[in-house]
Structure 1
């Protein structure tokens, strides 16, 4: 029998990012950018991408980002949009829910349109950013 021991960071981060914009127009533009990045990421995603982390950004992906004028985005910023996440917009606010710890791509998309960004873990905070009453009893919530 073989027993595998290893380290992994694939536990649920259960993060919420909130981008607060000065106008609805800015929020809509950020939402649309994230939808476009999701479509781009899903088209470019390959199950074996994680096996070759040194690989350069594919030419097609670079061209698509240039067309979007997303000059600050890299391959790994786009990859996060292929992973499970949810984006919603209410007025001037855009909310993103993700279990990933790598949120750089989301941040760049929000900041590009001038958002003030708040990030929190739902392990400790509820949707209204109030401390959860059950947070101290949760085993996956980290140290207190």
Structure 2
């Protein structure tokens, strides 16, 4: 029998990203791109990607990113959209909730469209910006 000992930080972050835009149309554009990225990521996602010798981005994916004008996105930036997350828009604000520590793909979309971005862990902060106390659950 083999016993595997490992450490992983995935699925433990409970992060919130808040992108605040000057206009509602900026937030709407971010939502549209994030929805398109989720569709792309789910179409490209494979549980056995780790078996591939080369991690280059497929040409079709690069072409789709070009259509979305997301030229600085890499394969890993797109892949996070296939993982569990939720996105909500309220007026000119976009909120993203994720358990993943890798959030660069979300940040790139928000920043490229002109958002001011705040990132915090709900382990330590409440959504209203106040610190969590030890009694909060």
Normalised by the size of structure 2, how large is the TM-score? 0.93
Find the counterpart in structure 2 of residue 94 from structure 1: 94
Q: When the two structures are aligned, how many residues end up with a matched partner?
A: 137
Structure 2 residues not aligned, in runs of 5+? none
Q: CA deviation at 1:127?
A: 1.1
Structure-1 separation of matches of 2:53 and 2:99: 21
3-state SS of 1:16 partner: strand
**Aligned positions of 1:1-144 closer than 5 A:** 1-52=1-52, 54-134=54-134
Moved over 2 A (4+): 50-54
If asked which structure has higher relative contact order (CA below 8 Å, sep 6+), I would say 2
Alignment root-mean-square deviation, CA: 1.7
Q: Structure 1 residues 45, 62: closer, same or farther in 2, change over 3 A? A: same
Gaps of 5+ in 1: 139-144
Q: Deviations over 1:124-144 (max 9, x none)?
A: 001112101127x88xxxxxx
